[in-house]
Amino acid sequence: MLKSGILHPQLVHLLASTGHLDTLVIADAGLPLPLNVERVDLAWKKNEPRLLPVLKTVLKDLVVEKAYLAEEIKTKCDPSLYKEILSVLGAIPVEYVPHPELKKMTTEARGIIRTGEFIPYPSIVLVAGCAY
C-alpha cells in the first residue's frame, strides 16, 4: 500500500508509462473521449473532482514541456478558473488552438484523465517532457 502521493492504481500506471513527447489530457466532464485512448475516469458527480486539484497533482509527478488550451478558454470559460490554470502551469509554455483542434488532439493522446469539472473549455493537453 502506498502511503502518499497518487493512490489510484490506473492513474499511477498511466503517469509512469507516459514518455517524452507523449500527450496526456486532463479533461472536463463534457469533453468527448475517444474510445481507442486509455482513460482514467475520476468523475463521480458534478464538479467532483475539480480540474485544478487533478492538474496540480499530475504536475507534481509528470515532467511537462508544453501545454495546449482551447482558444475559447479566453472568452467562454470562467475567468477565475482560466487565471488559476495559467498560474498552476507557471513557466510551462502554453499554446492555444481552436476547441475542435484540441478535441482532435485527444485521439492521439497517451491517455485522458476525466474530471468532474462542469465548466466548459478548461480541458488541457499536456506534452510530457524529459527529466534529464
**Cβ-proximal residues to 107 (8 Å cutoff; 6+ apart), any chain:** 34, 36, 37
Average pLDDT (53-66) is 97
Q: Is the pLDDT of residue 119 over 90?
A: yes
- Write the burial class of residue 97 (CB in 10 Å: 0-12 exposed, 13-18 middle, 19+ buried): middle
Euclidean distance between CA atoms 55 and 33, whole angstroms: 18
- The H or E element that residue 82 is part of is helix 79-89
- Can you give the length of the chain in residues? 132
Q: Is the pLDDT of residue 3 over 90?
A: no
Residue 9 has a pLDDT of: 95
pTM above the 0.85 mark?
Answer: yes
33 pLDDT band (50/70/90 cuts)? very high
* Contact by Cβ (8 Å): 72, 102: no
The per-residue pLDDT for range 80-110, each reduced to its tens digit, is 999 999 999 999 999 999 999 999 999 999 9
Residue 74 has a pLDDT of: 97
* Contact by Cβ (8 Å): 12, 62: no
Give the catalytic positions in this structure: 20
Q: What is the dihedral of CA 60, 27, 7, 67, to 10 degrees?
A: -20
Q: Is the pLDDT of residue 1 over 80?
A: no
Residue 16 has a pLDDT of: 96
Euclidean distance between CA atoms 67 and 89, whole angstroms: 8
